[in-house]
């Protein structure tokens, strides 16, 4: 019974053909790792964001998806966003380790961004990142539906693929933002035939946006969205709402269309440390086979600030640390 279950799981997770479980939008249409707390993790998929923060930040994230399913995705991310002293440029660094069944993929990239004023209250930032992806597939792990496939005889595949991405991030002070990004322009040309049978690499587009409403002096409300698009696959659409209470606590909910509902919570431990947690429950038939997904994020702000940091309120004063009057809620 257990062997049969494992064969089914690896068949659907690894080859991304889980039509019976209605998870096309979350597996096949998801080349980049999936995040529920994307609103606190924009620098991982949009290099235009890295220089828009007011003070340097360091973050770590861990995601355990589809608990109780052997071979289900596990993601670890470490990243930094660093604005330079000229307040126009920024640099970033990302390392993401993504595990799925017998495959492990590690992404590493360096990002650069440049921003300029498009109006009195709005800025546009353009960013690029350059890096690579290390793919490691060990066919000795797990059992497979068709063990006679020629590619399975290789047992171990190791490859390195270069990546080049770009992004735009438009924002207005502390109130709204819109962004678009392409994680990798190098697609089919860099994959040989045998690896292409495992990962169908098509160009992915990401669109993100949000708006912050000041409901009172102690309460802010932010609806946001993230849309992932890959040609030939359904849109992966995420819609979220978050409340910021007393600039300390965040509470919210998120919905991944046709896939999952999520609860989010966060706490500003100190002026320089934020921790956030989310729990996903699948609304498609896959939900009956797992206990949901967990995601935790930890952010350190190397300067005074809160959940994010302010846009235009902070000013450099020679010889003094940068003062941030109000936290930026993105």
Give residue 143's pLDDT.
Answer: 59
Has residue 311 been placed in a domain? yes
* Residue 259 belongs to a domain: yes
In CATH, what number is assigned to the domain containing residue 101?
A: 2.40.160.40
| Residue from 156, 69, 34, 42 nearest 104 by CA | 156
38 occurs within a structural domain? yes
Nearest to 175 by CA among 227, 222, 240, 125: 222
In contact, 81 and 49? CB cutoff 8 Å = yes
Residue 170 CB partners (closer than 8 Å, separation 6+): 118, 122, 123, 124, 125, 177, 178, 179
| Within-domain flag for 267 | yes
Nearest CA to 25 among 262, 255, 237, 239? 237
Within 13 Å and on the Cβ side, how many CA atoms surround 89?
7
At 229 the three-state DSSP class reads: strand
Residue 330 falls within a domain, yes or no? no
In a domain, 229, yes or no: yes
The structure tokens listed for 182 are: 């392409």
- Provide the pLDDT for residue 146: 57
Task: Say if CB 92 and CB 111 are below 8 A apart.
Answer: yes
How many structural domains comprise the chain?
A: 1
pLDDT in tens, the chain (330 residues): 444 444 434 444 433 333 223 333 333 334 567 899 999 999 999 999 999 998 999 999 999 999 988 888 999 999 999 999 888 999 999 999 999 888 899 999 999 999 999 998 999 999 999 999 999 988 776 655 555 555 555 567 888 989 999 999 999 977 999 999 999 888 754 444 444 444 455 788 999 999 999 999 999 999 999 999 987 788 899 999 999 999 999 999 999 999 999 999 999 998 889 999 999 999 988 888 888 999 999 999 987 544 544 443 343 434 444 444 445 788
Residue 271: per-residue pLDDT:
82
Kind and range of the H or E run holding 11: helix 2-14
Task: Write the DSSP assignment of 93-124 as a string of letters.
Answer: EEEEEEEETTEEEEEEEEEEEEEEESSSS-EE
Q: What pLDDT, on the 0 to 100 scale, is given for residue 159? A: 87
Q: Within a domain: residue 329? A: no
Length of the chain: 330
Q: Is residue 244 in a domain?
A: yes
Long-range contacts of 222-227 (CB under 8 A, 24+ apart): 222/39, 222/329, 222/330, 224/38, 224/39, 224/330, 226/38, 226/39
C-alpha 64/C-alpha 294 separation (Å) is: 5
Residue-number span of the structural domain to which 157 is assigned:
2-323
């Amino acid at each position: 019974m257990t062997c049969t279950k494992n064969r089914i799981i690896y068949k659907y997770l690894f080859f991304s053909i889980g039509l019976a479980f209605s998870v096309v939008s979350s597996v096949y249409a998801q080349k980049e790792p999936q995040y529920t707390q994307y609103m606190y993790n924009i620098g991982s998929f949009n290099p235009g964001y890295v220089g828009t923060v007011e003070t340097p930040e360091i973050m770590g994230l861990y995601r355990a998806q589809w608990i109780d399913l052997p071979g289900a995705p596990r993601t670890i991310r470490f990243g930094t966003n660093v604005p330079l002293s000229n307040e126009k440029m920024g640099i970033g660094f990302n390392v993401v380790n993504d595990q799925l069944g017998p495959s492990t993929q590690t992404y590493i990239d360096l990002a650069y961004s440049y921003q300029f004023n498009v109006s009195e209250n709005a800025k546009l930032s353009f960013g690029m990142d350059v890096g690579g992806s290390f793919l490691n597939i060990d066919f000795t792990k797990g059992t497979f539906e068709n063990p006679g496939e020629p590619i399975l005889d290789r047992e171990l595949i190791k490859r390195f693929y270069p990546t080049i991405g770009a992004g735009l991030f438009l924002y207005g002070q502390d109130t709204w933002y819109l962004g678009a990004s392409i994680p990798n322009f190098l697609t089919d040309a860099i994959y040989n035939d045998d690896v292409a049978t495992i990962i169908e690499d098509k160009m992915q587009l990401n669109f993100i946006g949000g708006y912050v409403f000041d409901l009172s002096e102690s309460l802010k409300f932010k609806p946001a969205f993230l849309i992932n698009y890959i040609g030939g696959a359904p849109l992966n659409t995420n819609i979220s709402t978050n409340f910021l209470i007393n600039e300390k606590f965040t509470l919210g909910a998120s919905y991944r269309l046709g896939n999952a509902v999520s609860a989010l919570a966060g706490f500003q431990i100190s002026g320089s440390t934020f921790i956030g947690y989310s729990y996903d429950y699948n609304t498609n038939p896959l939900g009956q086979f797992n206990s949901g997904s967990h995601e935790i994020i930890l952010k350190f702000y190397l300067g005074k600030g809160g959940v994010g940091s302010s846009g235009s309120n902070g000013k450099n004063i020679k010889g003094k640390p940068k003062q941030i009057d109000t936290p930026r809620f993105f």
